[in-house]
Structures are given as structure tokens and as C-alpha cells.
A = this chain, B = another copy of it.
């Protein structure tokens, strides 16, 4: 009866907070979500499928898309571009499906600029010690590198103001449940659905 557009949800947060783990568990439980497929210039690896694992583009194509404002965010790693194609996201939303994007803080801020109508969720470490432990235990990094990482984490936490929700990742299942609650609740927002409701009733009551 009521045709509603999908919503773009962005899960982000500081390095080491556990974004990937929360996203994986969420997708095991929530089959209605469409994971946002990235675009890349890196070579396709055996077994990977275009439009499933990534959208594969040449460097020239990618740079043209950047110029045309066709990427919600992008970054360069090891001479390759990675980004989120606007078209794919918008078409999926138009079909009434929610899109879910898990991304670093810098990327999330780019998306916020290019697609402010997204719903931005900040994943928060359960405690400072926990975040320190996770950063330290990642590898055999030097004291200096660990301190830099912590400084970066602090800067990323300052970015929290750009987000709509904050979810503590104390236990993965708790965090996943909270993200699911946010998804459901956002679909009840008046500004998303009021027009359709009003039309139905006015048609009937006039």
C-alpha cells in the first residue's frame, strides 16, 4: 500500500572498534539489507564477480566518475582507487531496499557531505582500555606507532558530532541488536512517510 524508498545506513567508528565484526553478524541476521558494493580499479582476482564483489573500473573511468560527482566517497590505497558508487546506491534505494555501508571515519565524513540524508551510526569502544588493547594487539608495532594510532582514534572520536546515533560495541550481539533497532525506527520517521499517509487519507476523506 505504502511505497517507501530505502534508507542508506552508514556504520563507522575508530580503527579497532570492531566495525567489520558487527557488520558480518548483522548480515547473518538481517537479510533485507543490501551491502553497498564498492567500485575499484584493482585487478579482478580469480573467483571474484563484477557487480558482486566489486564494480571493476579502469583508472580513467574511475577518475571520470570522481569528476562527475558519481562517488559518495573514495580513497586510494597502493595505487588503486576504492569508492562507493552513487548510482548503485540510489537505484537500490529507489527499489525500496536499504543499503548498508561499513566504512572508516574519513570515508563516512565524505558520504555525509555527498549524501546527508543517510543515517550515520558511530560504533563506540566499550572502554578506552579495550580500544588500547585492540590497537596494541594488532601486531608488533612500535610504541610510537601505537601512540599515533591512539591519537588518531581520539581525533576520530571527535568526529562523532557528524553522526546520528552512537552504539557501544560492548558485546557484538548488543551492538547488532541496537543497529537493528535503529534501522526499524528510522523507517517510522514522520518525514519519510507522512506524505504517503496524508495522501491516502485525504483521497478518502475529501
Contacts and interface: CB of A to CB of B under 8 A. Distances in A.
Contacts of A193: 166
B166 A197 contact: yes
A157 B204 contact: no
A167 B194 CA distance: 10
A65 interface: no
A201 interface: yes
The 9 closest A-B pairs by CB, nearest first: A185-B185, A128-B204, A154-B205, A165-B188, A181-B184, A166-B190, A163-B190, A181-B185, A182-B185
A7 interface: no
A154 B201 contact: yes
Contacts of A182: 185, 188
* Number of copies of this kind of chain in the complex: 2
A189 interface: yes
A202 interface: yes
A129 B201 CA distance: 10
Q: Is the interface of A mostly helix, strand, loop or mixed?
A: helix
Nearest to A192: B166
B205 A153 contact: yes
A189 B131 CA distance: 22
Contacts of A124: 197
A197 B156 CA distance: 13
A89 interface: no
Q: Which of A150, A164, A166, A197 has the most CB of B within 10 A?
A: A166
A197 to B, nearest CB: 6
A153 B122 CA distance: 40
Interface string A102-131: 000000000000000000001011001100
Contacts of A171: none
A160 B198 contact: yes
Nearest to A124: B197
